[in-house]
């Protein structure tokens, strides 16, 4: 290093010291209002709870699960009366069957489970698992 580089080195060191000695780091202070959000007040969908005959809401809990369906695996036929939910595929592909209707769902797809929903799923892949994120209301275990 030569003498002519000394001012550059000293300037860099002083800048570093100034940044490190700053009394409040931005990560330590929460913002006063939301920043950088979109869709905060845009309702994507909702489920009317009345048809589910839930009774006292205090008898239920809101449950979130991450469920992996193995290659060639399946979720059995099941109803959602009394158990409303919202589900999103995180990874892979599933075939959903409702009665005689089949549809293919891929990562990013989502659906609602209403009081009249009865369905089952299968993973059509023989090598890739599928993963879903499911949020539903279920009776508390007593």
Q: Give me the residue spans of the domains in the chain.
A: 51-139
Residue spans of beta strands (DSSP E) within the chain? 60-69, 74-79, 85-91, 93-98, 101-106, 110-113, 118-122, 130-139
pLDDT the model gives residue 40: 64
Token code pair at residue 73: 């695996």
Q: Are 123 and 129 in contact (CB under 8 A)?
A: yes
Residue 119 or 41, more confident: 119
Q: Which of 53, 73, 54 is nearest to 62 (CA)?
A: 54
* pTM of the complete model: 0.68
pLDDT digits 0-9 by tens, 3-43: 554 445 444 544 444 444 455 555 678 778 767 776 767 77
Q: Is the pLDDT of residue 1 over 80?
A: no
| 3 state SS of 133 | strand
The helix (H) or strand (E) run that includes residue 6 is: helix 6-20
State mean pLDDT over 79-100. Answer: 94
Q: Is the pLDDT of residue 134 over 50?
A: yes
Q: What share of the chain is helix, strand, coil (3-state, %, to 5)?
A: 20, 40, 45
CATH among 3.40.50.11290, 3.10.580.10, 2.60.120.10, 3.40.50.970 for 51-139: 2.60.120.10
The confidence band for 130, taking pLDDT boundaries of 50, 70 and 90, is very high
């Amino acid at each position: 290093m030569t003498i002519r580089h000394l001012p550059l080195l000293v300037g860099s060191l002083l800048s570093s010291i100034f940044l490190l000695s700053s009394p409040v780091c931005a990560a330590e202070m929460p913002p006063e209002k939301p920043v950088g959000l979109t869709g905060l007040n845009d309702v994507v969908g909702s489920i009317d709870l009345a048809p589910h005959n839930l009774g006292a809401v205090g008898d239920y809990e809101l449950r979130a699960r991450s469920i992996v369906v193995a290659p060639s695996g399946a979720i059995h036929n099941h109803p959602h009366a009394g158990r409303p939910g919202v589900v999103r595929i995180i990874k892979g592909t599933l075939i959903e069957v409702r009665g005689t209707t089949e549809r293919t769902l891929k990562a990013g797809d989502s659906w609602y489970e209403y009081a009249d929903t009865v369905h089952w799923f299968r993973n059509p892949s023989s090598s890739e698992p599928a993963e879903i994120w499911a949020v539903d209301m279920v009776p508390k275990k007593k």
